[in-house]
């Protein structure tokens, strides 16, 4: 089964200073299954200052390269830091 990520959006940012800032985002996760229709779900992500992106529902780490690349594109498009 292959998994792809798309449609990164920054939902909001919480915290009052740099050290306790938490970024909340959403991403579409598509599971490409053999002999079945592809399944796409919207999942929530979080990232604390200086940390990696992780899934909010189970705490598992998201794939760093793909999510970081989408976050950089989001920052370039909207000028919202994430």
Closest CA to 81 of 4, 25, 20: 25
* CA gap 21, 18 in Å, rounded: 5
* CA gap 66, 82 in Å, rounded: 14
Summarised one tens digit per residue, pLDDT across range 27-55 is: 999 999 888 999 999 999 999 988 899 99
Q: Does the pLDDT at position 1 exceed 80?
A: no
pLDDT of res. 44: 95
Joined together, the tokens standing for residue 75 give 């920052």
- Give the predicted TM-score (pTM) of the model: 0.85
17 touches 32 (CB < 8 A): no
Report helix, strand or coil for 45.
strand
For residue 5, the tally of other CB atoms under 10 A from its CB is 17
The boundaries of the domain holding residue 44 are 2-78
Query: How many separate domains does the chain show?
Result: 1
pLDDT of res. 24: 95
pLDDT of res. 49: 84
């Amino acid at each position: 089964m292959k998994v792809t990520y798309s449609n990164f959006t920054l939902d909001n940012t919480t915290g009052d200073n740099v050290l306790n800032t938490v970024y909340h985002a959403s991403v579409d996760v598509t599971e490409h299954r053999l002999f079945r229709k592809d399944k796409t779900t919207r999942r929530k992500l979080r990232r604390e200052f200086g940390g990696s992106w992780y899934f909010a529902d189970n705490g598992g780490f998201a794939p760093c390269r793909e999510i970081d690349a989408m976050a950089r594109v989001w920052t370039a498009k909207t000028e919202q830091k994430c």
